[in-house]
Amino acid sequence: MKPKSDERHERDATGHWLANLSGPTIAMRGFLEAHDELQRRQARRMGLNATDMQALRLLDVHGPMGPTELGRRLDIRSASVTVLLDRLESDGLLERVRDVDDRRRVAVRVLPHAVDLLFDTWAPIVRALDDVGHAMTPAQQKAVCSFFDQLVGVMTEGDPVPAE
């Protein structure tokens, strides 16, 4: 469905669609670009591609999960999950574990030395980012947290673009 002319986003004189966005939105755009580049750089430091690193981070943060759930969280197809798991398992970074009650079910878990690799790679940047937060006044911290909480609310509401 094509948007009506009055529903279209404004463009600036160059035709760019970011016309009239708020300062925080523009700053967030810069943050997200830097975040994406940081993820690629950190993955290279770990000798992985970005999706493989994200899979290890998801398993580290959320614990063991089935291949289907991992694929859903990574937004990749079942066949791609299998290739990813085969690659990370052959690299000795994760293991597949059969459910003791239902041998058809498999959980994937990250191995301890892979967690160490994640920690060694990410801890310095996380600490540097945290230093920025600690340097803020309590009022600034509260405002930033409120802003991010609201953004998370918008992002987790679902797709704001109507389906065609």
Q: Domains (ranges, CATH) in the chain? A: 23-156 (1.10.10.10)
Residue 121 CA to residue 47 CA, distance in Å, equals 11
H or E segment and range at residue 129: helix 112-134
H or E segment and range at residue 43: helix 23-46
- Are 86 and 66 in contact by the 8 Å Cβ rule? The answer is no
Return the residue matching tokens 């009239």. 20
pLDDT digits (tens, 9 = 90+) for 59-107: 999 999 999 999 999 999 999 999 999 999 999 999 999 877 777 789 9
Residue 97 CA to residue 75 CA, distance in Å, equals 22
pTM: 0.75
Coil, helix or strand for 127? helix
pLDDT digits (tens, 9 = 90+) for 26-41: 888 889 999 999 999 9
